[in-house]
Amino acid sequence: MLGINDRRELPIVLLIDDDLVSREVIATILTLHGYIVHTAPDGAASLEMLDSGECAPGVILMDTQLPGLGGLPLIEQLRTRGKAVLFAISGSPAPDDLVAAADGFLLKPFAPETLQRLLEERNPEPDVPRLEVAEPAVVAETLAQFRQLMPEPTVREIYVAVLADLKKRIVALEAAIAVGDAAEVRRIGHTIKGGCGMAGAMRISRLGALLESESDQMDNCAAVLSELQSAIRDLERMLEAEFPA
């Protein structure tokens, strides 16, 4: 495990991700492993940060599905603004042309050690999460690692934020399913998969992946929605049991 005292040996990271949960979890974990992390919610904001001199990253982590300026056009713009190593990140396999344009690919959820290994090897081998048939609300190993890295109130805040975000996603998901908006269902599922995967809520992440892959089958999505609501209740119970107010 990388230590806090290794901070000077690690590059400054610019994280570009429109999903609040993914952004906050990744930034928190990397910071606690010694990285200095700047975050941007979209491509335009990241370019503003670079142009203003707000940060001079050695590494850029760029989500592959950003609103507005993203994908290959954003990579081209980022390349003109420095020599940072640029890794594409996503909860799903990325298009071949985008991966080819980047210096590597990280599949969410990933560990700081994976990022460091890529920096050393420059040969992407993403960590693929292994999902069990019946996952707990949060993977015990992830929760234990969070508790090693940060105080209990901070860990609790992470899961409070995850739950708050999920409840908003559920409302949007119900509306999308009601009108048969497959693209929106797919987008929401992708976001849930990535953000909850980083937080160790692998059961919910798996359900997000199902929504993403079965977005054209609304009957199936409605069934997944019901299971997702149950999984969120389990996460709430976990929060109450592990972190009583």
Amino acid letter for position 76: E
Residue 125: pLDDT band with limits 50, 70, 90: very low
Q: For residue range 142-166, list pLDDT tens digits in order.
A: 889 899 989 999 999 999 999 999 9
Place of tokens 């460091």: 116
pLDDT at 170 over 90: yes
Right CATH number for 4-121 from 3.40.50.720, 3.40.50.2300, 3.30.428.10, 3.50.50.60?
3.40.50.2300
pTM of the model: 0.65
**Cα–Cα distance, 208 to 159 (Å, whole number):** 17
132 pLDDT higher than 70: no
State the Cα–Cα distance between residues 9 and 161, nearest whole angstrom.
31
Strands 85-90 and 59-63: parallel
What separation in angstroms does the CA of 51 have from each of 23, 43, 61?
21, 12, 17
Quick: pLDDT tens for 179-188.
Answer: 999 999 999 9
Pairing mode of beta strands 13-16, 37-40: parallel
Question: Residue 167: what pLDDT?
Answer: 94
140-242 CATH pick, 3.40.50.1370, 3.40.50.300, 1.20.120.160, 1.10.3720.10: 1.20.120.160
Q: Which of 6-10, 34-38, 143-147 has the lowest mean pLDDT?
A: 6-10
pLDDT at 127: 42
Query: Where along the chain do its domains lie?
Result: 4-121, 140-242
Residue 157: what pLDDT?
A: 92
6 has pLDDT over 60: no
Taking alpha carbons only, the member of 87, 142, 137, 88 closest to residue 111 is 142
